[in-house]
Structure 1
């Protein structure tokens, strides 16, 4: 199971790297063309914008996994150990419900936009709006993989770190 989780995390990370590389190449090429030929690619800004949307939704799960989201821990820190565990369980359940709801909303948005096309690229907006349900599905998967350790101890272990020191997840002190 750990091996599958490592592959899942690696694929998610590489997808983000490829999207960032594509966005960088598109924007860089557009800037170079603008200065060299005085013309630019009419679709470059739109493509970069949609890649940024996909990177944001696709990367949210990795940010959750590694404690990259904002967390306010004053209430949790004031509770006794048992209360902290209960609070983390409620938090994880609340996040799971919210993420599931957002998957459904994202699917509805994508379906509504399937017949409209983007101005420059002329692709259906369905592909742009699909970032939302895909991203929240990834959030559900990442949360499911880290929930047990987070609820039990409020920590997670970075799979790519050299040290074995646990780091704190959202709801904890540091990342």
Structure 2
């Protein structure tokens, strides 16, 4: 059951990223073509693309974490005994979990405080754009917890035939 939910979460997360990136690329491409062929550009294109990039960054961070795509220095835990390495990885896991929880709560407060502001060109509530922060941090926490056991015991990340750590870092 948990494996099914985990596969669904990863697939949904990846497809949302793919759709957002395609839409963002399409909007920017169309805007550039219009600017150079007609001299006019789409008023809202730059703003919407920027907001999509914010969502892509926060939604993609969890997948990058899951597959080992974030910057990591692992020399120390590879140089010590297996038991000590597991203790160190457990501390890293606890620290990351605490940070993600703190940031999810703090950014939720930020979203709440900006609920009455809106963007200039599209009149989208700013809180909708900033909602990427708590959603992203919660997703990072979920992805971290799903790989926690393997990470602590073996120092390894999730594996996929479709994506590796270096590719995850480029998401």
TM-score, normalization: structure 1?
0.89
Matched, 1:105 2:130: no
Distance 1:157 1:100, change over 3 A: closer
Q: Which residue of 1 aligns with 2:161?
A: 160
Write out aligned runs for 1:137-156 (5 A): 137-156=138-157
Give me the CA root mean square deviation: 1.5
Write out aligned runs for 1:113-124 (5 A): 113-124=114-125
Contact 2:114 2:127 (8 Å CA) reproduced? yes
Q: Which residue of 2 aligns with 1:20?
A: 21
> For 1:106, what is the secondary structure of its paired residue?
helix
CA distance in 1 between counterparts of 2:41 and 2:162 reads 42
Q: Which residue of 2 aligns with 1:77?
A: 78
Aligned length: 164
Q: Which residue of 2 aligns with 1:4?
A: 5
Shift of 1:80: 1.1
Name the one with the larger helix percent.
2
CA distance in 2 between counterparts of 1:141 and 1:155 reads 17
CA distance in 1 between counterparts of 2:20 and 2:95 reads 30
Shift of 1:161: 5.0
CA distance in 2 between counterparts of 1:157 and 1:69 reads 13
Write out aligned runs for 1:40-79 (5 A): 40-79=41-80
Shift of 1:61: 0.4
Shift of 1:44: 0.6
User: Once superposed, which parts of structure 1, at least 4 consecutive aligned residues long, lie more than 4 Å away?
Assistant: none
Shift of 1:4: 1.4
